[in-house]
Every structure is written in structure tokens, then in C-alpha cells.
A = this chain, B = another copy of it.
Amino acid sequence: MLVRLAEIEVDPENLERYLTLLREEIEASVANEPGVLALQAMALRDRPGCIRLLEVYADAGAYAAHLLSPHFLAYKAGAEGLVRSLRLTEVDPVLLRAQDGFGSAGGDRDEPG
């Protein structure tokens, strides 16, 4: 398993455009790539332009394939110029647990608070 925590800072005036791109990328990746185990994006409440993205891949091969996927390449191209900074932190899973159905496309989305 390969797990990363990305810290992404987006210019406020570009935030809605960036979030649309990010959501499209997440939906397409989890729907089409079984090796993308989870992509979980959130925004800091007191600094909404600060995005945190937890990325979980089955292994390094799944991650390498993801980087070449058309939806990731489209995201990268679109996000260029919108993202002020990107920091990737390698993490080791301690324990990842969730209820059945967590993160499914039919579940909750965009529900702040």
C-alpha cells in the first residue's frame, strides 16, 4: 500500500474552478482504476483555499499507472496555474478503517458541517 498526504494551496479566485477539476479527477480515478483505493479531499474550514488530499494506492505500480491516466493528465493540465503550492508527504498507514459503503459514489458528498 502506498499512502500520501498532499497539501495543496489554491488562489481563492480560482478555488471553485480547481475544486471542479479535483472532483472530476477523483471520481474518474476511483471509478476506473481499481488500484486507486481511495482519494479523500477536504478543505481547511478557516482557510478554504488550503486543500488536503489523502491518497491511497494499492502499490507503486498502481500509482505509476495513475500518473499516466487520461483523467489525471487532464487534471494536471487544468490545475496548472490554479495551484499556488503543492506539498506531498509520504506517510505509512497505521490503520485505515471505514464502514461498509464509505466513499461510494452513491454516498454523501459536499456536505460541510
Contacts and interface: CB of A to CB of B under 8 A. Distances in A.
A100 B104 contact: yes
Contact of A112 (B92, B101, B109): B92
A41 B99 contact: no
**Which size class do A's interface residues fall under?**
35 or more
28 contacts: A5-B52, A26-B95, A27-B97, A30-B98, A34-B99, A38-B96, A38-B97, A38-B99, A39-B97, A40-B40, A40-B93, A41-B94, A41-B95, A42-B96, A43-B94, A44-B91, A45-B91, A45-B92, A48-B92, A51-B94, A93-B108, A95-B109, A96-B108, A97-B104, A98-B98, A98-B103, A99-B103, A100-B101
